[in-house]
Amino acid sequence: MQKKLFLIWLLALTVSLNGQNQLTSDNRRAVNLYNEATRYYTNGESAKAIESLYEAIDRDPEFIEAYLVLGDIYNSDNLYKQEAEVLKKAVSIDSLFFPRTHYNIGVALYKQGEYEESIDWLEHYKWNHSDDADIDKVERWISRARFAMYAVNNPYEINLRTVGYGINSEYDEYWPSVTADEHTMVFTVLVPRNPELYQERQLPKTSLYFREDFYISQKGEGGEWQKRVLLPGDINTSGNEGAQTLSADGHWMFFTACGREDGQGSCDIYFSQRTGGGWSEAVNLGRPINTPYWESQPTFGADGKTLMFVSNRPGGRGGKDIWKATLQYIDDDGVPHFGDVVNLGSPINTSGDETSPFLHHDNRTLYFSSNGLPGMGGMDIFFSRKGEDGKWRKPVNLGYPINTMGDEIGLFINARGTRAYFSSDGREEEQTSKNIYMFDLPSPFQPEPVLYVQGEVYDVETNDPVPAVFELKDVNTGEMVVSTNANRYSGEFLVCLPVGGRYAFRADHPGYMFYSGHFDLEEGYTIDEPYELDIGLQPIKEGVNITLENIFFDVDSYQIQAESKVELDGLITFMVENDDVRIKIGGHTDNLGDAAYNQKLSENRAKAVYDYLISEGIDSDRLEYEGYGMNKPIADNDTDEGRAKNRRTEITIL
């Protein structure tokens, strides 16, 4: 909210414009009521000020200053319809008394959704009263109003539907966070501290009578969200917790809490992790995430390392900006520590406010709210895509009716990019509270679809869960796409797979052989079904062997393809970290072609890997190689799929 007029400023302008030290009213009682109203307003008693001003106007209907101060009060209370009405009355009395009133009326009409009339008032001010000092601001408001008018006249078809009464209630529900598999939703509920008192009378939604708590709902077999329950564990307190985000796998949560004893500033970002019995007690993320300023509304990327949040700290472009931090390490208690905090800069952040960021699981599409970009009024939801150069593109407004003349914040998009969740009020008849809704996202605003692989990691000998570290790398570029951990209590994991790439998938934990997997999503994929994969890790000991799924050779050649570097470098890391291990590299072929030819080809391929490791500093005394030709198939050689599995490179612990 930005107040356009201050009382002292108004009085000074009155003197300046009229060349006299008196108000426009000659009625002494009206002037006394006006002065009384200014005192009330200065003390924050708006209701009494309004009452006194209308009494003054009753005594003198031509009292211009009284209308102008009324307009200022209504603007402060976001009552834009009333603001426009009283300011129009002031202009009708004397249109030149305070010419900027035309501009104020135009802005108030815009915020009320009267876009066409808003443009008329703003254009009049631009051509008759504006100067070099404010022409840019006037033109920005005209541009916003024209965009909003176009958006209303060209709406998107949105089928808005409630998430169900398992989640929504008579209280306010907002900030939905959903796991990538869309089976778990955590959300914030504004609950009364005294439910019996709430039932007896209408209570103001202040911290005196209400608090924010986290609730959770699971999706049932029929696809319906089940009855919500209070989030188990030690995360909810007698204070307020809200504006949360879940990691893609649902094992980590970041959220906002204000005024706590361990706080760094007014509001800070906290962390909790899912345990065997619920959620852990929250931990303040500390510096450099939290500062003496205001930090809130985090979003955590599916890459496992990117945390975005909102802050009003110095160094930004506006009042509230979106900032980004990168994971540095995870301590022995499983708590992440972040660093490298940077402002997202232009074109995301503006001179206005940017809030409620949501980084989609594709790690390339950002949704956020802003009042500093052309929109419908208030906070509108925008999205931006990251280009190949790593820079964010110009934000795009999601249009009408997703955005309205009110405030829209807290949008969440599912992994497939097809469904959106958000909170709103007034969308249903007789609705008096905020509820959570979902709708099918129009295709122009959809992110890149994301699949996922999920399962559990366990010790093959004991069946105990293993908190393995997962890496997903693009085999074409070697770029790390995802780095994340299995749950330290259950071994459960979920790793997002952006569609359109070829990925090396690796699970690793000290004392175990690593797991090597491969996903090719460049063609022939479907986004309908996720990958289910339970991974049994083998303790490092003699005789254990694994297949290296990401070693590639040219056809009928032992020339290692460049895409194999990701796997080979991972193997080198394993050898360095386990310097007492000796391995044998085994080459295998399918049964197509001459047996002697296949035997020689398999030997040369195994030797090519052997030579690469030596060239990268691995001692030859720790390595052996052997070719097995087509003699040790692990699948049927009668199908293309089976033959592909038989063409492989393995390592065995010696």
Domains, the chain, ordered by start: 7-153 (1.25.40.10), 169-368+411-445 (2.120.10), 451-539 (2.60.40.1120), 541-654 (3.30.1330.60)
Region 520-529: what's the mean pLDDT?
72
Mean local confidence (pLDDT), 500-524? 90
Whether 112 and 405 have beta carbons less than 8 Å apart is answered as yes
Of 388, 355, 360, nearest in space to 373 by CA: 355
The pLDDT tens digits for 591-624 are 999 999 999 999 999 999 999 999 999 999 999 9
Please say if the pLDDT value at position 15 is more than 50.
no
Angle (nearest 5°) at CA 174 between 238 and 110: 125
pLDDT of residue 4: 42
What's residue 14's pLDDT? 43
Lowest mean pLDDT among 319-328, 516-525, 539-548: 516-525
pLDDT at 521 over 80: yes
Q: DSSP secondary-structure letter at 281?
A: P
Average pLDDT estimate for 173-195: 92
Confidence of residue 427 (pLDDT cuts 50, 70, 90): low
pLDDT band at 483 (very low <50, low <70, confident <90, very high): very high
The residue among 218, 417, 175, 186 whose CA lies nearest residue 302 is 417
pLDDT class of 125 with cuts at 50, 70, 90: very high
Please check whether residue 476 is in contact with residue 563, taking contact to mean a CB–CB distance below 8 angstroms: yes
Interatomic CA distance for residues 269 and 243, integer angstroms = 9
CB atoms within 10 A of CB 373: 22
What's the order of all strands across the beta sheet hosting 412-413? 161-162, 435-440, 419-424, 412-413
Q: Average the pLDDT over 629-646 and give the result.
A: 92
As a whole number of angstroms, the distance between CA 487 and CA 494 comes to 9
Q: What is the pLDDT of residue 20?
A: 42
Residues 453-473 have a mean pLDDT of 95
Closest to 156 in 3D by CA, of 350, 359, 395, 446? 446
Span 134-157, mean pLDDT?
91
| Average pLDDT of the segment spanning 367-378 | 90
**Please, which pLDDT band fits residue 160 given cuts at 50, 70 and 90?**
confident
Q: Is a pLDDT exceeding 50 seen at residue 120?
A: yes
pLDDT at 2 over 60: no
pLDDT of 550 strictly over 70:
yes
Instruction: With residue 643 as reference, give the H or E element that holds it.
Output: helix 640-646
Q: What is the 3-state secondary structure (H, E, C) of 629-641?
A: CCCCCCCCCCCHH
Nearest by Cα to 398 from 447, 435, 449: 447
Instruction: Indicate if the pLDDT at residue 45 is higher than 80.
Output: yes
pLDDT at 526: 66
Q: How many CB atoms lie within 10 A of CB 381?
A: 26
d(CA 561, CA 476): 10
pLDDT of residue 545: 94
What's the maximum distance between 2 C-alpha atoms anywhere in the chain? 114
**How far, in Å, are 551, 559, 567, 616, 619 from residue 613 at the CA level?**
13, 15, 11, 5, 8
Does residue 194 carry a pLDDT above 60?
Answer: yes
Helix (H) / strand (E) element for 127: namely helix 115-128
| pLDDT above 90 as % of the chain | 76
The pLDDT of residue 64 is above 80: yes
Mean pLDDT of 557-564: 95
Q: Please compute Rg for the chain using Cα positions.
A: 32
Per-residue pLDDT, averaged over 90-106, amounts to: 95
Reported as type and span, the H/E element at residue 627 is: strand 623-627
Q: Packing angle between helix 28-42 and helix 64-76, nearest 10 degrees?
A: 20
Amino acid occupying residue 577: E
Residues 6+ apart with CB under 8 A from 434: 172, 173, 174, 190, 423, 424, 425
Residue 71 predicted with pLDDT over 90? yes
DSSP secondary structure string for all residues of 4-62: S--HHHHHHHHHHHHTSSS-S---HHHHHHHHHHHHHHHTT-HHHHHHHHHHHHHH-TT
The gap from C-alpha 647 to its chain's centroid, in whole angstroms, comes to: 42
pLDDT at residue 9 tops 60: no
Q: What is the mean pLDDT of residues 409-421?
A: 93
The per-residue pLDDT of the chain, averaged, comes to: 91
**For residues 38 and 49, is the Cβ–Cβ distance under 8 A?**
yes
pLDDT at 260 over 60: yes
pLDDT at residue 11 greater than cutoff 90 = no
φ/ψ of 87, rounded to 5, equals -70, -35
Give the tokens for residue 145. Answer: 């109003």
* Average pLDDT of span 261-270: 92
Region 507-524: mean pLDDT is 90
pTM here is 0.87
Cα(512)–Cα(626) distance, rounded to whole angstroms? 23
Q: Where are the beta strands (DSSP E) in 276-411?
A: 278-279, 283-284, 295-300, 306-311, 321-330, 336-343, 354-359, 365-370, 380-385, 396-397
Strand segments (E) across 371-498? 380-385, 396-397, 412-413, 419-424, 435-440, 450-459, 469-474, 480-485, 492-498
pLDDT at 16 over 70: no
Residue type, 619: D
For 214-233, what is each residue's pLDDT tens digit?
Answer: 999 999 988 899 999 999 98
The answer to whether residue 5 scores a pLDDT higher than 60 is: no
Confidence check: pLDDT of 353 > 50: yes
